[in-house]
């Protein structure tokens, strides 16, 4: 991650994640979007996932997630009502928006998978297969 890098705005509806904040925000400092299956690059939305998902009902996950919290964003949201977004690193290089350095150049992405139990239940809904464009 370099100073000056630009990241997409993140909307996330995964309300079972420890990083989820009401209003469909993500309080993580950084999220990793990845292909779901080892050795098989995503070809469709369902084969992508937010690897940073951590189930909120697990106390161990809550503790483990503490070092990946966007404290500045959270404070700004709390005190000024501003927006809060994580940085995004993505390894899904079959996506139209993927760029060298594991960057995503989309203006905004949406992470879906309401009620997810594991990261494989989540998706980057903004994924677009560059081969099919």
- Identify the burial level of 30 via C-beta atoms within 10 angstroms of its C-beta, where 0-12 means exposed, 13-18 middle and 19 or more buried: middle
Instruction: Show the beta-strand stretches assigned E in the chain.
Output: 9-12, 20-21, 25-26, 30-35, 48-50, 87-90, 98-99, 103-104, 108-112, 123-124
Report the nearest approach of ligand SF4 to the CB of residue 118 (Å): 11
Binding residue (CB under 6 A) for ligand SF4 from 47, 73, 85, 92: 92
Q: How many whole angstroms separate alpha carbon 19 and alpha carbon 23?
A: 12
Binding residue (CB under 6 A) for ligand SF4 from 53, 70, 87, 112: 53
Please name the helix (run of DSSP H) or strand (run of DSSP E) that holds residue 18, with its range, or none.
Answer: none
Contact (CB, 8 A) for 1 and 90: no
Binding residue (CB under 6 A) for ligand SF4 from 7, 29, 47, 52: 52
Binding residue (CB under 6 A) for ligand SF4 from 47, 84, 87, 95: 95
Report the nearest approach of ligand SF4 to the CB of residue 125 (Å): 8
Joined tokens for residue 19: 């990083």
- Tell me, by CB under 6 A, how many residues bind ligand SF4: 28
Binding site for ligand SF4 (CB under 6 A): 10, 12, 14, 17, 19-20, 26, 28, 31, 33, 48, 50, 52-53, 88, 90, 92, 95, 97-98, 104, 106, 109, 111, 122, 124, 126-127
């Amino acid at each position: 991650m370099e100073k000056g890098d630009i990241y997409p705005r993140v909307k996330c509806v995964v309300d079972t994640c420890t990083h989820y904040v009401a209003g469909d925000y993500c309080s993580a400092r950084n999220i990793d979007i990845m292909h779901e299956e080892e050795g098989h690059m995503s070809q469709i939305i369902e084969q992508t996932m937010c690897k940073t998902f951590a189930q909120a009902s697990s106390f161990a996950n809550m503790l483990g997630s503490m070092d990946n919290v966007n404290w500045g964003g959270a404070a700004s949201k709390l005190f000024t009502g501003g927006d809060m977004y994580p940085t995004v690193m993505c390894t899904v290089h079959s996506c139209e928006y993927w760029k060298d350095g594991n960057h995503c150049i989309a203006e905004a992405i949406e992470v879906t998978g309401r009620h997810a139990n594991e990261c494989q239940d989540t998706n980057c809904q903004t994924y677009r297969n560059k081969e099919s464009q």
